[in-house]
Amino acid sequence: MTLKHELPEGFRRMIDELALARGGTPAMIRRALVLCGQFKFSPWIGWAVVERKVALADAARLDGAAKCPALQGAILDQNLRITDLENVYPYAPYFLAHDLMSSGGGPFRRVSEALFVAKTLLAGERVQGGGDEALPRVRVQTLEHYRMLAEQILRLRENEGMPLEASTDVVLGIMPLAVARRRMALRREDERHSAIEGERGVRRFPNRSGPVRAGSASNRPEPPRPDPRHRALKNDRYT
């Protein structure tokens, strides 16, 4: 059987390993190979369709969230459905990130940025709903609500030239805009001084006994009190 898209050797090997571990037949292997070649699914997603763990119509969305490390076991071994997973941790941010990139022409083009914002948006709901629960329910708003916030975050980043994390914190009320602007001004001033001194060939060493340089840490505004959402994100914001 000729595949529409030639598969990497690693994909074939992973499908063979899944078949061996799960008692798959040669016909199932061929079907999984065809699905992965035609739709560019991850190997385990193609296998989940072959085993009828997930409908082909839902496979693309599942594949969009497949970077979640716990998702494969939840689908293949625990027989959970997408509707069981998309509103609970640790799966929900990955589904929301996919939706922010694809559904209705979402605002994001990079998975890492969409996932960062999705985790931040849902962290607040996780805290409010009881962060100590094994599977706290999140994503209580509509997709349009999350897309609106994401668009505000990206627009603020573009208009102010600030990092994604800072623009996210401002939109969610974690950090005042004035503080974010002040930090950006201090950073730009530091970069300007570094560029000037680099051109002069001057090496910079910390002066521990002399007067504090303008724009140093002691002159910077006191950081805002940590928001509970930051504590919730401490261990899983980038996973």
Please list the alpha-helical segments (H only) found in 65-173.
71-76, 82-85, 92-102, 111-128, 143-160, 164-171
**Over 60: is that where the pLDDT of 173 sits?**
yes
Report the C-alpha gap between 155 and 176 in whole angstroms: 16
- Residue 221: pLDDT above 70? no
3-state SS assignment for residue 147: helix
Q: Give the confidence band of 47 by pLDDT, cuts at 50, 70, 90.
A: very high
- Region of 23 (left: φ > 0; alpha: ψ -120 to 50; beta: rest) is left
Question: Residue 109's pLDDT is what?
Answer: 80
Can you give the pTM of this predicted structure?
A: 0.75
Lowest model confidence (mean pLDDT) among 43-52, 119-128, 205-214: 205-214
Q: 112 or 223, which is more confident?
A: 112
Name the more confident of 174 and 5.
174
Mean pLDDT, range 196-215, rounded to an integer: 58
Question: Residue 202 pLDDT > 90, yes or no?
Answer: no
Measure the CA dihedral 69/146/105/43, to 10°.
Answer: 10
Could you give the 3-state DSSP secondary structure of residue 12? helix
Kindly tell me the sign of the dihedral angle through the C-alpha atoms of 109, 110, 115, 118: negative
**pLDDT at residue 102, rounded to an integer:** 79
Q: pLDDT value at position 207?
A: 53
Q: What is the mean pLDDT of residues 151-180?
A: 93
At residue 239, does pLDDT exceed 50?
no
**Residues 129-154: tens digit of each pLDDT:** 554 555 678 999 999 999 999 999 99
Residue 208, pLDDT > 60, answer no
Dump pLDDT digits (tens) for 83-125.
Answer: 999 999 999 999 999 999 976 566 788 899 999 999 999 988 8
Distance of CA 160 to the CA centre of its chain: 22
Distance CA(177)–CA(154), nearest Å, equals: 14
State pLDDT tens for residues 66-79. 999 999 999 999 99
